[in-house]
Amino acid sequence: SLGLVLDNIHARYDGQTRYAIEGLTLTLAPGACLAVVGPSGAGKSTLLNVLTGALSPAQGTLSTSDGEDVARMYPGDWQAALGWVGQSTSLLSASLADNLRLANVDASDQTLEAALNEVGLLEWASSLPQGLSTRLGEQGQPVSGGQARRIALARAFVRQAPLILLDEPTASLDQDSERHVMAALSRLKASHTLIILTHRLDLLQLADQVLVLDNGHMRALDTPNNLAGTP
Ligand code: ADP
Ligand code: ADP
C-alpha cells in the first residue's frame, strides 16, 4: 500500500489570482481511507486535479509515503500508482470481462471474475453492456449509471493500483447498485489507500479521517465520529 504526504499545497487555475486550494497540509498513511467533503467550490475537484497530476501545485509538495516527490516521478509511474473511479465510465461494445481487461491487459480470467464478483456483476461477465441492462429490465437503454459505476469500481480491483481516488461513488445510484458499491468499497478499503469525495454521511463512516474543505482551506481534519459530535 502507498500513502501520501501533502505539504503546504497551493493550487490555482491559469489566469486566476485566487488559490482554489491554499496551504493544504496532511498525511495519509498507507491503507488509510480519507473522505473529502465541503460545499460546492470548496476545492474538492481541485484537490483531485492536483493528486492526478492534471494541475501542478503553484507552491508546496506532494510526495508518497516512501518520500518520493511526485513532481519528480515519471508521469507513467505515478499514473500506475493511481486508480481513478469517476462518475462516468466509457464502455466498449464488448463483454464486461473484456471491458475490464482494458484496465489491465495482464489480468487472468480468474482476476477478472473475482473483480466482477466484488461488484455483483459476475453472472453478466460474458454479456455486452447493452445486453446487461436489457437483462436487468431496462429494455433498450444503454448501461445504467449504477452498472457503469460498478464496472468502474471493478476496474479498480483489476488495475491493482495501491491508491484509489473516487469521485462521489454512490451518487445517483439505484438501491441494488448502491448496496453493491458500498460492499465493494469496504472490501477495497481493506487492501488499498482510498480518497473519496462525497456528500454522503454513510460513506463518511467508512473513512478513518474526514477532510472538510471550505473556500480552499482545511476547515477540519478528524475522525467521522468526532466531526459528527462537533457543533
Ligand atoms: P468543488 O469541487 O469543491 O466544488 P472546485 O475545486 O471545483 O470545488 O473549485 C474550487 C475553486 O476553483 C472555485 O472557486 C472554482 O470556481 C474554481 N475553479 C474550479 N475549476 C476552475 C477552472 N477550470 N478555472 C478557474 N477556476 C476554477
Ligand atoms: P472520465 O472520462 O470520467 O475520465 P474515462 O472514460 O476516461 O473516464 O475512464 C476512466 C476510467 O478508467 C475510470 O472510471 C476507471 O474505471 C479507469 N481508471 C482507473 N484508474 C485509472 C487511471 N489511473 N487512469 C485512467 N483511467 C483509470
- State the pLDDT at residue 217: 97
User: Does the CB atom of residue 157 touch ligand 2 within 6 A?
Assistant: no
User: Does the CB atom of residue 152 touch ligand 2 within 6 A?
Assistant: yes
User: Does the CB atom of residue 52 touch ligand 2 within 6 A?
Assistant: no
- Asked if pLDDT for residue 143 goes beyond 70, the answer is no
First to last CA, the chain: 35
Ligand 2 centroid distance, CA of 89 (Å): 7
- The residues, any chain, with a CB within 8 Å of residue 173's CB and separated by 6 or more, are 145, 146, 149, 181
pLDDT, one tens digit per residue, over 55-91 is 999 999 999 999 999 999 998 999 999 998 887 777 7
Three-class secondary structure of residue 69 per DSSP: strand
Nearest CA to ligand 2 atom 4: 86
Which of 74, 82, 89 has most ligand 2 atoms within 8 Å of CB, for mutation? 89
- Asked if pLDDT for residue 8 goes beyond 70, the answer is yes
Q: Quickly list H helices, 13-142.
A: 44-52, 75-81, 96-101, 109-118, 129-135
Nearest CA to ligand 1 atom 26: 13
- State the pLDDT at residue 107: 93
- Asked if pLDDT for residue 148 goes beyond 90, the answer is no
Q: What ligand is nearest to the CA atom of residue 45?
A: 1
Report how far residue 224's alpha carbon sits from residue 204's, in angstroms, rounded to the nearest whole number: 6
User: Does the CB atom of residue 88 touch ligand 2 within 6 A?
Assistant: yes
Residue 184 grid cell: 465493494
- State the pLDDT at residue 140: 39
Assign 170 a pLDDT band (cuts: 50, 70, 90): confident
- Could you report the predicted ipTM of this complex, rounded to two decimals? 0.74
What number is the average pLDDT over the span 202-212? 91
- Asked if pLDDT for residue 137 goes beyond 50, the answer is no
Predicted structure pTM score = 0.88
Three-class secondary structure of residue 130 per DSSP: helix
222 or 91: which carries more pLDDT confidence?
Answer: 222
Element (H, E) at 195: strand 193-197
Mean pLDDT taken over the chain: 88
Ligand 2 centroid distance, CA of 48 (Å): 13
Ligand 2 centroid distance, CA of 227 (Å): 31
- State the pLDDT at residue 188: 93
Element (H, E) at 165: strand 163-167
Q: What ligand is nearest to the CA atom of residue 214?
A: 1
